[in-house]
Amino acid sequence: MAQVSITVNGKVRKADVEPRLLLAHFLREELLLTGTHIGCDTSQCGACTVLVDGRSAKSCTIFAVQADGSTITTIEGLARDGQLHALQQGFWEEHGLQCGYCTPGMIMSAVNLLNDNPAPTEQQIREGISGNFCRCTGYQHIVNAVQNAAGKR
């Protein structure tokens, strides 16, 4: 076992974990933050995307011990004082989801994108979310949602 101390959504969380425990499983099973989804087991789909020290990362590719000392933001940590984050609101307003399984990871990747580029073009949005797969939509409503959020920032 190894002890980790990780700041998750603003709270320092300490735990003893197996060295092989993936960050995705730590978040879901140890911290009960089930908004981080596991969709493919091959690090292809992006459903498990979170922010690690402000940068988007697939949490199924990181061991919890590698995140020791890091700051993690999950989909649960985006809303503030009962107000949805601009991207969450954009997905709501633009119907940027169907089944919703990819949505948390898609939003977290888009947060990273808008932090880097507050006014992306449609092509830049499509490139920025290219590591996240949606099996239900044609992506246009997702792109619209990101554009909506960019316009509100």
Is 50:72 a contact under the CB 8 Å cutoff? yes
Where the chain has pLDDT below 70, the residues are none
Question: What pLDDT was estimated at residue 138?
Answer: 83
For 18-108, strand residue ranges (E) read 49-52, 55-58, 71-73
- The sheet carrying 55-58 orders its strands as 11-17, 2-8, 71-73, 49-52, 55-58
Domains of the chain: 2-77 (3.10.20.30), 86-152 (1.10.150.120)
What does the block give as tokens for 118? Answer: 């507050």
Question: What pLDDT was estimated at residue 139?
Answer: 94
> Alpha-carbon distance 30 to 114, whole Å?
30
